[in-house]
Amino acid sequence: MNLHLSLIPILAIIAGILILVVPKAFHYIVAFFLIIYGLLAILGFNHWALH
């Protein structure tokens, strides 16, 4: 059985849980998510998959 996980949805779930647990950290979580997303896009990780 092959397990195919996509990186962006996993990061989104983690960010959502953190926002629920620590609502005051919302701006930091969104900023971190956008920075990671941008860096991955610049570095050429176009498939967003973990194998």
- 20-30 pLDDT, tens digit per residue, is 898 888 888 88
Domain that holds residue 38: 16-43
Cα(43)–Cα(24) distance, integer angstroms: 31
25 membership: H or E segment, kind and range: none
pLDDT per position as a tens digit, 27-44: 888 888 888 888 877 887
3 state DSSP class of 1: coil
Tokens for 25? Answer: 């950290």
With respect to residue 11, please indicate whether it lies within any of the assigned structural domains.
Answer: no
Q: Identify which of 6, 35, 37 has the alpha carbon closest to the alpha carbon of residue 27.
A: 35
pLDDT-derived band at 48 (thresholds 50, 70, 90) equals low
| Residue 4 counted as domain residue | no
* Tally of domains within the chain: 1
Q: How confident is the model at residue 13 (pLDDT cuts 50, 70, 90)?
A: confident
CA 37 to chain centre: 7
Domain membership of residue 9 (yes or no) is no
3-state secondary structure of 5: strand
Would the pTM count as exceeding 0.85? no
